């Protein structure tokens, strides 16, 4: 299980937390004993010896207790901190390992970001509070119970019998809690997604005169989320109320038992020998006896939240899917070929249909290949395969050296938050001079003097490419590809989201620059106008190669 697996390398922090908590429990016994003794002696034996040694002992006990409790919580928090950092590193590593195609199968980028931030944080309480209190809820009450038994076994039994009832009741209450937690988390994600979608489409909503309706919808969604959150909280509150109730009743019972024994109303067992010291000592221990259990009850819903989060995170780390990385270089790749596919099949789901089915293909350097076919025929998969984003289930793929670095342009270029310069530098060395960047932009058809780029290379680019039109974003991506000097360009419907005019212009530039630089192109498209301009066309259908024509 993910939660245990994450704990393993940092277990020692948990042990430290437990030891400190146990030490604090022992200090509590010392404190209660010295207070009880001071009172007892003052009432029944005033002035026999100095109060200072006992007061001093109490003082030491107080300091030790709170120093150790600090250590207990410190260690717990450190554990949670280390575990979360590990997990976040693992998420990034997994994303890098499985590549963009498998990543998208496991949720869109907003969902991944939310997992990285919120869902990982949902594990914190489990390590910082639940695990430490889990051990201490057993050990500390046992120590205090033993101390109580040394004084009066009936009082000890009162405490002993009141404690086990608590977990029973809590289990009854907590049964449904995990399920509600999962629902709440699901709702939380959905609410966040809903907000994002409506915010992105404010323009559309305004034009449709639907802003008020959208606001009402948001109100309904957020109200649903509140109701579910309240259900989660009510369960948590009820379990801690049960806990409170038993501890309060038990303390009251102990007080009354001790009082009546001291009055001499109870003659059986040890009750007859009860002294003020032993009575007060047991009374002072009683609330401390329940304290760890109370902390445990409070942290119980930390556990439910963490289990729900771990359940949704664990499948992300499924080791079976992995992108190939840049494909292995075949030892004997004939010099004229750039790319060789030998009966390659790709399946996303081992039992599902093949996205690519026994495909054999050779591409020579400098060729411009259009990949056509209906949606779902495997065009994108073929490109992802060449990029190393997915690996072949059977068969083999080999790339010649120049193809091992490639440029990628998708349907909608992803521009990074920052300025235009940062986005161009992504494809090349960080110290590339500005005039080279400007030159590349010009070649891509986006002169830096364009009025929509008021600050030139320093023009900020917002999230979602804000500030640039779709065509301009694709041009930036082309400039990036030009700057990268890659000899292989993988283009996944690079112009399909553009108006025909921009499409035409962009395509012209792509082909012109590719020809100049002897770049090999693999371009997926469903436009006849596009593939007519390339020198070779391969047609896919249901993952199979059905035509391969040189123009």
Partner 1 sequence: MADSWPTNMSDWDFLRQVFRGSRVWTGSAYLLLALTWIAGIALLALSGWFITASALAGAGFLLGLELFTPSAGIRAAAILRTLSRYGERVIGHEAVLRVLARLRARSFASISRLPVSAQRQLRSGDLQHRLTTDIDTLDAIPLRITGPIVAATLAALAATGLTLWLAPWPATALLLTTAGLTLSASLLAARVGRARGRALVEQRSRQRVALLDFFGGLADLIAYRRVDAERSRLEALEYEQATAALFQERVSLVADQAVQGMVALTTLAMLWLALHWHAHGVIDAPVAVLLTLMTLGLNEALSTLPGAFWRTGESLQAATRLRALGVDPSTTPRPRTRVSHSKVAEPPAPVSGFRVSNLAIGFAGNRPLLSGLNFLLEPGQPLVLHGGSGLGKSTLLETLAGERVPLSGSIHLTGRSITELPEPLLYRTVGYLPQETRLLDDSVARNLRLGQPELSDVMLWNALEKVDLAHALRSEGSGLDYPVGETGRRLSGGQARRMALAWLLLRATPVVLLDEPFSGLDHNTEQRILARIRPWLEARCAAIVTHAPERLPREWPRLDLTGNAR
Q: Which is nearer to partner 1, 141 or 423 (CB)?
A: 423
- The 115-134 site mask, x for binding partner 1 (CB under 8 A), equals -xxx---------x------
Is position 74 an interface residue for partner 1 (rule: CB under 8 A)?
yes
C-alpha to C-alpha distances, 91 to 84, 119, 217, 313, 533, nearest whole angstrom: 10, 12, 33, 9, 42
| CA dist., res. 76 & res. 521, Å (int) | 55
Q: Which is nearer to partner 1, 254 or 398 (CB)?
A: 254
Q: Which is nearer to partner 1, 272 or 334 (CB)?
A: 272
3-state secondary structure at position 329: coil
Is position 58 an interface residue for partner 1 (rule: CB under 8 A)?
yes
Is position 42 an interface residue for partner 1 (rule: CB under 8 A)?
yes
Using the contact rule CB under 8 A, the part of the chain among 106-114, 162-170, 331-339, 435-443 near partner 1 is: 106-114
Q: Which is nearer to partner 1, 1 or 153 (CB)?
A: 153
Among 8, 45, 203, 351, indicate the residue that binds partner 1 (CB under 8 A).
Answer: 203
Phi, psi of 409 (to 5 degrees): -130, 120
Q: What angle do CA 97, 355, 523 make, to 5 degrees?
A: 80
In the range 290-349, which residues lie near partner 1 by CB under 8 A?
Answer: none
3-state secondary structure 330-396: CCCCCCCEEEEEEEEEECCCCCCCCCEEEEEEEEECCCEEEEECCCCCCHHHHHHHHHCCCCCCEEE
Is position 63 an interface residue for partner 1 (rule: CB under 8 A)?
yes
Q: Which is nearer to partner 1, 394 or 405 (CB)?
A: 405
In the range 359-418, which residues lie near partner 1 by CB under 8 A?
Answer: 375, 387-389, 405-408, 410-411, 413-417
- The 161-200 site mask, x for binding partner 1 (CB under 8 A), equals ---------------------------x--xxxxxxxxxx
Q: Which is nearer to partner 1, 93 or 547 (CB)?
A: 93
Residues contacting 302, CB < 8 A, separation 6+:
125, 126, 129, 130
Sheet holding 368-372, edge to edge: 406-409, 488-492, 520-524, 368-372, 536-541, 544-550
In the range 469-488, which residues lie near partner 1 by CB under 8 A?
Answer: 469-470, 477, 480, 484, 486
In the range 421-460, which residues lie near partner 1 by CB under 8 A?
Answer: 426-427, 450-452, 454
In the range 239-298, which residues lie near partner 1 by CB under 8 A?
Answer: 240-241, 244-245, 248-249, 251-252, 254-256, 258-264, 275-276, 279-280, 283-284, 287
Is position 138 an interface residue for partner 1 (rule: CB under 8 A)?
no
C-alpha to C-alpha distances, 318 to 91, 95, 266, 321, nearest whole angstrom: 11, 11, 65, 7
Q: Does an H or E element contain 304, and which? A: helix 276-313
């Amino acid at each position: 299980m993910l939660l245990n697996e994450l704990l393993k390398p940092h277990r020692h922090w948990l042990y430290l937390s437990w030891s400190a908590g146990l030490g604090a429990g022992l200090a509590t016994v010392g404190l209660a004993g010295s207070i009880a003794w001071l009172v007892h002696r003052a009432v029944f034996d005033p002035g026999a010896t100095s109060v200072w040694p006992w007061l001093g002992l109490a003082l030491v006990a107080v300091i030790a207790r709170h120093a150790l409790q600090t250590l207990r919580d410190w260690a717990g928090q450190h554990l949670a901190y280390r575990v979360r950092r590990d997990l976040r590193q693992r998420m990034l590593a997994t994303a890098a390992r499985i590549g963009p195609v498998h990543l998208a199968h496991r949720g869109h980028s907003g969902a991944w970001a939310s997992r990285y931030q919120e869902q990982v944080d949902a594990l914190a309480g489990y390590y910082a509070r639940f695990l430490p209190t889990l051990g201490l809820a057993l050990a500390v009450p046992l120590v205090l119970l033993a101390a109580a038994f040394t004084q009066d076994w009936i009082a000890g039994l009162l405490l002993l019998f009141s404690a086990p009832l608590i977990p029973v009741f809590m289990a009854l209450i907590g049964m449904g809690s995990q399920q509600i937690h999962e629902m709440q988390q699901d709702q939380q994600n959905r609410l966040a997604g809903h907000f994002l979608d409506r915010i992105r489409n404010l323009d559309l909503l305004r034009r449709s005169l639907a802003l008020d309706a959208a606001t009402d919808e948001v109100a309904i969604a957020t109200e649903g989320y509140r109701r579910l959150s309240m259900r989660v909280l009510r369960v948590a509150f009820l379990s801690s109320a049960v806990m409170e109730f038993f501890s309060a009743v038990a303390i009251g019972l102990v007080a009354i038992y001790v009082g009546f024994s001291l009055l001499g109303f109870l003659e059986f067992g040890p009750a007859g020998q009860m002294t003020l010291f032993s009575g007060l000592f047991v009374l002072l221990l009683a609330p401390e006896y329940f304290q760890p259990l109370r902390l445990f009850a409070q942290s119980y819903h930390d556990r439910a939240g963490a289990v729900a989060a771990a359940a949704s995170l664990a499948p992300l780390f499924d080791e079976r899917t992995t992108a190939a990385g840049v494909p292995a270089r075949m030892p004997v790749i004939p010099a004229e070929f750039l790319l060789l596919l030998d009966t390659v099949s790709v399946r996303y789901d081992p039992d599902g249909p093949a996205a690519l089915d026994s495909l054999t293909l050779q591409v020579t350097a400098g060729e411009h290949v259009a990949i056509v076919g209906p949606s779902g025929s495997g065009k994108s998969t073929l490109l992802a395969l060449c990029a190393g984003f997915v690996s072949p289930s059977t068969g083999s793929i080999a790339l010649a050296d120049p193809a091992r670095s490639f440029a990628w342009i998708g349907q909608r270029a992803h521009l990074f938050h920052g300025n235009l310069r940062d986005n161009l530098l992504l494809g090349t060395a960080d110290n590339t001079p500005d005039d080279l960047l400007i030159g590349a932009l010009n070649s891509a058809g986006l002169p830096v003097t364009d009025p929509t780029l008021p600050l030139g290379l320093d023009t900020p680019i917002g999230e979602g490419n804000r500030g640039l039109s779709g065509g301009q974003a694709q041009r930036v991506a082309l400039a990036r590809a030009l700057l990268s000097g890659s000899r292989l360009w993988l283009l996944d419907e690079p112009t399909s989201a553009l108006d025909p005019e921009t499409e035409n212009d962009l395509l012209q530039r792509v082909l012109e620059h590719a020809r100049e630089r002897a770049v090999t192109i693999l371009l997926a498209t469903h436009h006849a106008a596009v593939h007519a301009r390339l020198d070779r066309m391969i047609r896919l259908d249901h993952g199979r190669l059905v035509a391969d024509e040189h123009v």
